[in-house]
Structure 1
Amino acid sequence: MYTSGNSQVTFEVKGWKVKPLICYDLRFPLWCYNRQEADLMVFVANWPESRIIHWDVLLQARAIENQAFVIGVNRLGSDGTGKAHNGHSAIVGPYGNYVTGPLTKAGVSHARLDPSEISRYRAMFHLLDEERMKSE
């Protein structure tokens, strides 16, 4: 369950450090920055079709810069104002590659995610250790 607030949460599930985020958070790289070294970031969204290119690109950007898997879950159909939503739910790997999706129909994605993919990427590029990325 999501509740409003100004703090972030990271929790562990079966050895994976998970960071839940919501729709608009995706637009703010510093808010999403992976200080807790989460392995998996999950965005639940209500992203409209008119800006779906932003959704697709930002999911990939957050995965690359945070060196983590990203799951983006977006709605389908029309909202109460008639605004269209076309899904594009996806799982993105730490290199920015689509593991599944983007889906444009209702359904469930299944994927086996390999945590060693994250460690290999983090060993090659020490982005999360960069001094310039640490908050003051």
Structure 2
Amino acid sequence: MPNVLNVALIQTSLAWENPEENRRLLYHKIDAISTGVDLIVLPEMFTSGFTMNPESVAETMDGKTMAWLKQLAKDKDAVIMGSLVISENNKFYNRMVCVEPSGAITTYDKRHTFTLAGEHKVYTAGTEKVIFNYKGWKICPLVCYDLRFPVWARNAEDYDLLIYVANWPKVRIAAWDALLQARAIENMTYCIGVNRVGLDGNNHEYSGHSVAYDVLGNRMDNLSEDQDATAIVVLEKDVITKYREKLNFLNDRDGFNLKA
């Protein structure tokens, strides 16, 4: 029913720069989701880990991973979303793809490339905020470092669900925890963050902390912090309507215009 959205958060380790192995690992995790879900969320760069070597893992929009996602989305009757390295027009993008069971695809190119790691030197930043509609829900997909920039996420579109996918390192995980909850509260929206676990090829450690918050910033999931695990959360549209109408905080939001 349109009022309810069942979302699976897949918190997982990733094989370094190995798309084939990551597809194999993720297939088993996705296939193991036995209850009916509407949306399955994978981490950032789920085919490779957060690599600054795009030449070794980049794919096209008609490549193996996109074909794999289309088939899985159809088989599971659910949207599957996460980011991967895409090569297009002689440029590389950290691109979030949202693949529907019908085969329809919504894409979002990461706006804020992570300068601390040199991401801006090898990946082209996106310029467009994206909202897509599924089963009556307005969903805003964003990627990792975007989380630090609240103006970009500001709920000017009255979206219902904000989703971040990430490779957010353990050393700065306190910021991840605080900012995800803040994004839910300030935008009066459900907010989900899916982060990876384990070590990457640069020996950076990731501790998960994948989470789902409701419109008041209450935690909804029971994921353990640093383990491979899947959680399913049930989102209810009536909860959004109830608190937005009762509290009216979004009615007092500031207007602004973003410039690239």
TM range (shorter): over 0.9
* Candidates 194, 202, 215, aligned match of 1:81: 202
Q: Which moved more, 1:104-113 or 1:29-38?
A: 104-113
* Candidates 248, 254, 257, aligned match of 1:126: 248
In structure 1, runs of 5+ residues without a counterpart are: none
Larger Rg: 2
Give secondary structure in 1 for the equivalent of 2:201: coil
Q: Letter of the 1:109 partner, please give it.
A: A
Deviation at 1:129, TM superposition (A): 2.1
Alignment RMSD, CA only?
Answer: 1.4
Q: Which moved more, 1:114-123 or 1:38-47?
A: 114-123
Aligned length: 135
* Candidates 132, 135, 139, aligned match of 1:14: 135
The reply on whether 1:109 has 2:225 as its aligned counterpart is: no
Greater RCO (Cα-Cα under 8 Å, separation 6 or more): 2
For the 8 Å contact 1:91–1:101, the answer to whether it is kept is no
Q: Give deviations 1:74-94, integer Å, cap 9, x for gaps.
A: 011112211110001111111
Q: Percent identity?
A: 43
Runs of 4+ in structure 1 off by over 6 angstroms are none
In structure 2, runs of 5+ residues without a counterpart are: 1-96, 98-107, 110-124
Q: Letter of the 1:70 partner, please give it.
A: C
Deviation at 1:96, TM superposition (A): 0.5
Q: Letter of the 2:249 partner, please give it.
A: L
Q: Distance in 2 between matches of 1:102 and 1:47?
A: 16
Give secondary structure in 2 for the equivalent of 1:111: strand
Deviation at 1:109, TM superposition (A): 1.0
Change (3 A) 1:93 1:115: same
The reply on whether 1:44 has 2:178 as its aligned counterpart is: no
TM-score computed with the length of structure 1 as normaliser: 0.92
For the 8 Å contact 1:23–1:44, the answer to whether it is kept is yes
Q: Give deviations 1:33-63, integer Å, cap 9, x for gaps.
A: 0111110001001111011111011110000
Deviation at 1:102, TM superposition (A): 4.7
Q: Give deviations 1:2-30, integer Å, cap 9, x for gaps.
A: 43411101011111110000001111111
Q: Letter of the 1:103 partner, please give it.
A: S
Question: What's the counterpart of residue 220 of structure 2?
Answer: 99
TM-score computed with the length of structure 2 as normaliser: 0.50
Deviation at 1:126, TM superposition (A): 2.2
* Candidates 165, 175, 179, aligned match of 1:58: 179
Q: Distance in 2 between matches of 1:47 and 1:85?
A: 6
